[in-house]
Amino acid sequence: MIQPATTTEREEDPFLLDCRAQLDLIINSIDFAATDREHRFFRYVVEETLAGRGDRIKAYSIAVEVFGRGEAFDPQSDPIVRIEAGHLRRALERYYLTSGQSDPIVINIPKGGYVPDFVRREQIPAAQSPVLQVPPKITEPERHWTVSPLLMPAMVLALFVAGASVFAWWWTSVRSSAPLTPRVLVEKFDDLTGTQNGAAIATGLKHEIISQLSKFKDVVVMETRVSDGDKSVSPPRFVLAGSVHLSADAFRLRVRLKNQADGSVLWANSYDGQMKVAELVKAQSDIASNVSTSLAQTYGVIFQADANVKVESPPEDWAAYSCSLSYYAYREDLDPEKRSSVRACLQAAVDRFPNYATGWGLLSLIYIDQYRYGFAADPAARAAALTRALAAARQATGLDPLNIRGRQAEMLALYFNREIEAALQVGKQALAINPNDTEFMSNYGERLSLSGKWTEGCSLIEEARQRNPGSSADYQADLGLCSYFSGDYSQAIMWISRTPSDKNPLYHLLRAAFYGEAGMKVEADRERAWLEQNQPDLVKDIRNQLSMRLGREKDVEFFIGSLRKAGLKIAD
Lowest mean pLDDT among 46-60, 183-197, 312-326: 312-326
Give the three-class secondary structure for 166: helix
pLDDT tens-digit series, residues 339-371:
889 999 899 988 888 888 889 999 999 999 999
Longest dimension (CA), the chain: 89
pLDDT reading at 2 higher than 70: no
Torsional sign, CA 357, 349, 352, 310? negative
Q: Domains in the chain, start-ordered, CATH in brackets?
A: 7-160 (no CATH), 183-294 (3.40.50.10610), 310-436 (1.25.40.10), 467-572 (1.25.40)
Measured in degrees and rounded to the nearest 5, phi and psi for residue 295 equal -85, -50
Nearest to 363 by CA among 411, 416, 403, 323: 323
Question: According to the model, what pLDDT value does residue 274 have?
Answer: 79
pLDDT value for 233: 58
| CB contact at 8 A, 427 and 448 | yes
Report how far residue 3's alpha carbon sits from residue 9's, in angstroms, rounded to the nearest whole number. 11
Cβ atoms of 107 and 46 within 8 Å: the answer is yes
Q: Are 339 and 370 in contact (CB under 8 A)?
A: yes
| Angstrom distance (rounded) from CA 130 to CA 118 | 9
pLDDT at residue 142 tops 70: no
On whether the pTM is more than 0.85, the answer is no
Which tens digit of pLDDT belongs to each residue from 84-93? 888 788 788 8
pLDDT digits (tens, 9 = 90+) for 29-66: 877 877 778 889 999 999 999 988 998 999 999 988 88
Cα angle value 382/383/389 (rounded, 5°): 90
Residue 517's pLDDT band, with cuts at 50, 70 and 90, is: very high
Least confident of 39-43, 168-172, 400-404: 168-172
Nearest to 146 by CA among 129, 162, 123: 129
Helix (H, G, I), strand (E, B) or coil at 415: helix
Residue 70 has pLDDT above 90, yes or no: no
Length of the chain in terms of residues written: 572
Tell me the Ramachandran region of residue 451: left when phi exceeds 0, alpha when psi lies from -120 to 50, beta otherwise: alpha
Q: Which helix (H) or strand (E) holds 144?
A: strand 142-145
